[in-house]
Amino acid sequence: MKKNHMIRLLAFLTVAIALLLISVFMDGQPLQAGDPPPALSSPILFTEPITGTWATNPYTSSSYAVVRAYFDHPQMVADLAAWTEPWEVDYEKGFVVLGVTPDEFDLLQQAGFTLEIDPIRTEYYTQIRTDPPGYAPTYDTIPGFACYRNVEGTFNTATDLVATYPTLASFIDVGNTWEKQTPGGLPGYDMQVLILTNQAIPGPKPILFITAAIHAREYTTAELVTRFAEYLLTQYNTDPDATWILDHHEVHLMLQTNPDGRKQAETGLSWRKNTNQNYCGTTSTARGADLNRNFEFQWGCCGGSSGSQCSETYRGPSPASEPETQAVQNYLQAIFPDQRGPGLTDPAPTDATGVYIDIHSYSQLVLWPWGFTATTPPNSTALQTLGRKLAYFNNYEPEQAIGLYPTDGTTDDFAYGDLGIAAYTFELGTDFFQDCGSFESTILPDNLPALIYAAKTARTPYMTPAGPEALNVAVSSSVVAPGTSVILTSTLNDTRFNNQNGTEPSQNIAAAEYYLDIPYWGTSPVAYPMSPSDGNFNATIEGATATIDTTGWPEGRHTIFVRGRDQNNNWGAISAAFIYIIDPVASPIIQGEVRAADTGLPLTATISAGSLTQVNNNPTTGFYEMQVLSDTYDLTAAPVSPLYGPSTVANVTAQNYQTIEQDFLLYPYCTAFSDNVEGGNLGWTAQTPWAITTESAHTPTHSWTDSPGGNYTNNRNITLTSPIIDLSGTQGVTLNFWQICDTEAGYDFCTVEVSTNGTTWTPIA
């Protein structure tokens, strides 16, 4: 059967595409000359000022629209935030984006906002989504969004993780939702927390607590935190950092903080609040309370929430009136000590412990208290330092929460204000119903490292982030016989902060050290100094090295912990590496050759046995040899040459006193389709105004552009789609293209999508 693929670019922007190259890793079968190519496409979004009423506007549905509302003064945003939540705020350009009903549309006009309807996003938020026929995921997902598990899928995942990792995970009930505690209606849900830690190592341990999806429509949030849990558990005993985090810290995850509301949002409704029927009518889609305006600390104090029951930011009739809020508050107070006095100016101590993060979408922000006042909190400098560090990983803008608009009765203000915990809000991505391609390619890989760093620093979050990170911790050989000398290396970096909203001070590296098996906070730790790789510690980024003598070490796995100190005496977060001591006589050997499938000649490659160890082969003969622990491995040969693809052999079992022969044939990449746009249109379907021009190019003079001769226009959603390419018998397909974008950041986009049928498209970039 042929595998026909198409690729398209969806441009919400000015974009120039200069070179498209699709390479496939063939199973020894060359692509035929007549085989067809892939496809690209591009949408453009914009709107026109609306001066009439809702009824006279051609872009609105009967009940909902997404609008851009232009304001004349920042106070208009503050006033707006008192009765609804803006989705996006751009103070520089003077507009907010939000979803509105007909009544809210009229209120905005009466308040002096100039409105533009966004027809594409209006359609996006009002369409009915279904899964394709035959779709059968492992866990239940939100219709039309295969990457996002629904409430049941999330909870079933957590239950299965506990069953798979019973010594590392537990799933506990900490309260009820409004529907669960209210008889006579829907069954509702338990409020549950997934706890990750090595239960064999006693505490107390520092805690990272994360809540997600407190606002129901924010699809990315619960999935990100669920993937974080899966990462830590699957990487335990494989990744040294994931291993020590679970050994020595605790990670607590409330994956669904508003499950009643999420069930409404899963139907496609832009549902934010819980589902309390006592507010705004029992069947109204505007019913419920905004849980992130319902917390006790500074509840309803400062115009950052609404007293109107039908408002999106309705704070509830009293502080912590909602059972979901009570569950979060009670849990925070149960797992964290109270480390701050009652006064607004009382700081938490410098060595305060614990980190709390509330995951939201959207706006690409990292926020910290306060949200109710522009006055900085008493731990402002330390909160800012960790906030800028977390924002380094996801490249979101770091700022105090009030910088967006006033909020009161929120999660992070409560966590910090009541307990002194280092508390943050992440605003993920660029949409509530974020497409899966953006989640998988950007949001997930950008935010996982931020959450890992937060877990690393939970012991002393007001101290550790100011110090240098220990990066690229490595040993010259991870599997050695006792008595072998091993070279330890690391890079100490004091510069990794997001400085787009102020500059974080950096200092030169002053020292580096490592610990064997017992980290610096353990019982009787021993610090071993590391030396500067270039002879002097005198820069903000420095290499460090040490020679480790393994004489007398017992067989088995050992952990090396590395940390660095800067000239201000700030010790940074640790990172780790494993060293395995083996019996050189008994331990099994895996050996073989790596050759090119097309020529039979040796290929230079790196061969790895899972995460245990890796070796380089002999480039002249292709031969490799590695000694490993008695176990089962996935062996991978990764060639140095970019012309060949890697190969993996799964489940290779090597037992003591065995020599296992495992050869590799590596197949070449073949170009399935290449177009440098110099030969005219090679079969692309180009919606107007896509055209080939010489306005900007890479190879060397021509490219496709979505707006030849000028700027793109409003209300455009246009595609450039390739011919079909037959990828039968291929694997390891890669897509490469050059592009130049000139857009309104955050609002106009180019999306790359692929399809196997020309109808259903999956975003990939």
What is residue 3's predicted lDDT score, i.e. its pLDDT? 43
- Residue 514, token pair as written in the block: 């490592």
Mean pLDDT, all residues of the chain: 90
Pairing outcome for strands 250-254 and 365-368: unpaired
Of 259-263, 524-528, 623-627, 691-695, the least confident: 691-695
Q: Are residues 492 and 577 in the same domain?
A: yes
Q: Containing domain of residue 20, as a range?
A: 4-46+674-763
Instruction: Give dist(CA 313, CA 288) in Å, integer.
Output: 10
Q: Are residues 397 and 526 in the same domain?
A: no
Instruction: Give dist(CA 300, CA 267) in Å, integer.
Output: 31
Report the CATH number at residue 271.
3.40.630.10
Residue-by-residue DSSP string for 88-143:
EEETTTTEEEEEE-HHHHHHHHHTT-EEEE-HHHHHHHH----PPTT---SS-EET
Distances in Å between the alpha carbon of 719 and those of 43, 47, 70? 6, 18, 29
Report how many domains make up the chain.
5
What is residue 331's predicted lDDT score, i.e. its pLDDT? 99
Instruction: Give dist(CA 194, CA 334) in Å, integer.
Output: 15
Q: Are residues 439 and 574 in the same domain?
A: no
Q: Are residues 109 and 238 in the same domain?
A: no
Contact 302, 372 (CB under 8 A): yes
Sequence letter at residue 447: N
Q: Are residues 396 and 432 in the same domain?
A: yes
- Residue 517, token pair as written in the block: 């098996």
Say if residue 87's pLDDT is above 80. yes
Say if residue 24's pLDDT is above 60. no
Is 304 part of any domain?
yes
What is residue 54's predicted lDDT score, i.e. its pLDDT? 64
Q: Are residues 408 and 351 in the same domain?
A: yes
**48 classed as catalytic:** no
Is 486 part of any domain?
yes
CB atoms within 10 A of CB 554: 7
Is 127 part of any domain?
no
Instruction: Give dist(CA 415, CA 432) in Å, integer.
Output: 25
What is residue 12's predicted lDDT score, i.e. its pLDDT? 41
pTM: 0.87
536 CB contacts (<8 Å, ≥6 apart)? Answer: none
Mean pLDDT, range 508-525, rounded to an integer: 98
- pLDDT-derived band of residue 747, with 50, 70 and 90 as boundaries? low
Report the CATH number at residue 549.
2.60.40.770
Residue entry with tokens 């003598």 = 549
Is 130 part of any domain?
no
Of 101-115, 287-301, 500-514, 738-752, the least confident: 738-752
Mean pLDDT, range 672-694, rounded to an integer: 88
Q: When comparing pLDDT for 725 and 422, which is higher?
A: 422
Which of 759, 697, 710 is CA-nearest to residue 18?
697
The torsion angles phi and psi of 427, rounded to 5 degrees, stand at -110, 105
Report the CATH number at residue 605.
2.60.40.1120
Say if residue 37's pLDDT is above 50. no
What is residue 714's predicted lDDT score, i.e. its pLDDT? 62
What is residue 50's predicted lDDT score, i.e. its pLDDT? 56
Is 123 part of any domain?
no
Instruction: Give dist(CA 622, CA 638) in Å, integer.
Output: 12
From 634, 669, 704, the end of a domain falls on 669
Of 149-153, 199-203, 257-261, 760-764, the least confident: 760-764
Residue-by-residue DSSP string for 149-199:
E-HHHHHHHHHHHHHH-TTTEEEEEEEE-HHHHSTTS----EEEEEEES-T
Say if residue 63's pLDDT is above 90. no
Q: Are residues 512 and 640 in the same domain?
A: no
- pLDDT-derived band of residue 596, with 50, 70 and 90 as boundaries? very high
CB atoms within 10 A of CB 547: 11
What is residue 676's predicted lDDT score, i.e. its pLDDT? 87
Say if residue 515's pLDDT is above 80. yes
688 CB contacts (<8 Å, ≥6 apart)? Answer: 718
Is 122 part of any domain?
no
Strand partners, 514: 528, 562
Of 155-164, 501-510, 733-742, the least confident: 733-742
Q: Are residues 593 and 577 in the same domain?
A: no
- Of 179, 427, 513, 542, the active-site residue reads 427
From 618, 638, 669, the end of a domain falls on 669
- Residue 595, token pair as written in the block: 């050759």
Contact 6, 758 (CB under 8 A): yes
Mean pLDDT, range 421-427, rounded to an integer: 98
Q: Are residues 193 and 54 in the same domain?
A: no
Give the percent of the chain with pLDDT over 90: 72
Q: Are residues 651 and 541 in the same domain?
A: no
Distances in Å between the alpha carbon of 482 and those of 237, 582, 654? 21, 7, 21
Q: Are residues 404 and 433 in the same domain?
A: yes
Q: Are residues 103 and 203 in the same domain?
A: no
Mean pLDDT, range 156-173, rounded to an integer: 98
Instruction: Give dist(CA 339, CA 352) in Å, integer.
Output: 7
